[in-house]
Amino acid sequence: MSVPIVSLPLGHTVDGKVVTGYVLQNEGGMRVMISDFGGVIWQLLAPDRDGHLADVVCGYDSVAALEASEGYLGALIGRWGNRIANASFTLDGVRYDLYKNDGDNHLHGGKIGYDRRFWEVECVDGEEPSLILSLLSPDGEEGYPGNLKITVTYRLRSDMALEIRYVATTDRKTVINLTNHAYFNLGGYASGTVLDHVLELDVSHYLETDASLIPTEITPVDNTPFDFRTSKTLRRDFTPDERCRALQVAGGYDHCLCFGGWQEGSLEVKYRGYLEDPTSGRRMELYTNQPAVQLYSANFLTDDGNRLKGGLKKQTQSAVCLETQRMPDSMNHEGFTPCTLSPGEVYDYTTVYRFTTV
């Protein structure tokens, strides 16, 4: 029997608006809670090899802590996920200036990105319950052109997968790169470092960056710490020091990895790899029709007095993000992935995180 979606108040924002959480559950016992504020994944419970459930996403207990935080934990990101150099781009001869919130650069949508917006919600009960979030991002918001209509559908599938589908249309040519910024720790969010997690990804190239983490060039992964074509622990090549300049600059993994064989316009959602915690036996398979993934080892998740769930102190490398997306700063580089959306076109991308055990 399917379990109806349950809604519950999570608290108030600083301006007095009520934040609501929606709990989806499947017959396998997997459970996810998502809020209308920022589309945040507050909780994701998945079983280990013995059937014991644990919450495998880092986040906060309260709306106050969420609003006071940086790091975008669990939130929807847009209109542009990742960085844009010099907070500007030129489209059809017109320059657009964006908000600078990462030094001289623009990050994750700007001052008030989609992670800080209230989304309209539609609940769809059933064996595979869905939460459909809708948002209108007006022309000129954060400097971007075009009225962008967005729906993001979270579907909790019966095969123990969380599917996230992003669909958008515009009335004016614009740039777009939507993603979710979930911080995963498959041992449970409070279980410590993820450096012993095993990762395998079908990636052929990665993006080198400058000192401010702006991409500079596309580089083959061969003989680099970014080669995850054969499974390995995150720890094995984790050398954020003079042995690897790319990791040293970022303090760890914070790089765009590019999937092999991607084709523009294809809606085929392909298996691209997995993340696994050997201790609990939880494995999270990654499927997507996006061309790349930002691998981030929570290098900036440092103690700022704003505690995580259960009063947990923030620690670097206590989670890992797999943010499927277009190449960052694409609009400012020839040869990077296409990143524009025009009237009459539909932006339609899906990412699936499927949980199993080994």
Token pair recorded at residue 334: 């020839």
Q: What digits encode the pLDDT tens for the residues 123-165?
A: 999 999 999 999 999 999 999 999 999 999 999 999 999 999 9
Please give the pLDDT value at position 190: 97
Q: Are the CB atoms for 195 and 233 separated by under 8 Å?
A: yes
Q: What digits encode the pLDDT tens for the residues 69-107?
A: 888 999 999 999 999 999 999 999 999 999 999 999 999
Q: What digits encode the pLDDT tens for the residues 290-320?
A: 999 999 999 999 988 889 999 999 999 999 9
Residue 197 is a catalytic residue: no
The CATH code of the domain at 6-335+348-357 is 2.70.98.10
Please give the pLDDT value at position 67: 93
Q: Are the CB atoms for 120 and 114 separated by under 8 Å?
A: no
Q: Are the CB atoms for 181 and 116 separated by under 8 Å?
A: no
Please give the pLDDT value at position 188: 98
Q: What digits encode the pLDDT tens for the residues 42-74?
A: 999 999 999 999 999 999 999 999 999 888 999
Q: Are the CB atoms for 202 and 229 separated by under 8 Å?
A: yes
Which pLDDT band, with edges at 50, 70 and 90, does 264 fall under?
Answer: confident
Residue 181 is a catalytic residue: yes
Please give the pLDDT value at position 265: 81
pLDDT at 345 over 80: yes
Q: Active site residue: 181, 205, 255, 333, which one? A: 181
Q: Are the CB atoms for 170 and 158 separated by under 8 Å?
A: no
Domain boundaries, the chain: 6-335+348-357
Cα end-to-end span (Å), the chain: 27
Please give the pLDDT value at position 155: 98
Which pLDDT band, with edges at 50, 70 and 90, does 263 fall under?
Answer: confident
Q: How far apart are CA 251 and CA 279, in angstroms?
A: 25
Q: What digits encode the pLDDT tens for the residues 176-233?
A: 999 999 999 999 999 999 999 999 999 999 999 999 999 999 999 999 999 999 999 9
Q: How far apart are CA 182 and CA 169, in angstroms?
A: 24
> At which residue do the structure tokens 């700022």 appear?
304
Average pLDDT over residues 270-288: 98
Please give the pLDDT value at position 2: 83
| Size of the chain in residues | 358
Please give the mean pLDDT across all residues of the chain.
96
Please give the pLDDT value at position 56: 98
3-state SS track over 261-310: CCCCCCCCCEEEEEEECCCCCEEEEEEECCCEEEEECCCCCCCCCCCCHH
Alpha carbon distances (Å) from 332 to 65, 264, 327, 338: 35, 18, 11, 11
pLDDT at 1 over 80: no
| Burial of residue 300 (number of CB atoms within 10 Å: 0-12, 13-18, 19+) | middle
The answer to whether the Cα torsion of 190, 287, 326, 133 is positive or negative is: negative
Report residue 352: phi and psi, to 5°: -125, 130
Nearest Cα neighbor of 17 from 118, 138, 114, 111 is 118
Q: Is the peptide bond before 79 cis (omega within 30 degrees of 0)?
A: yes
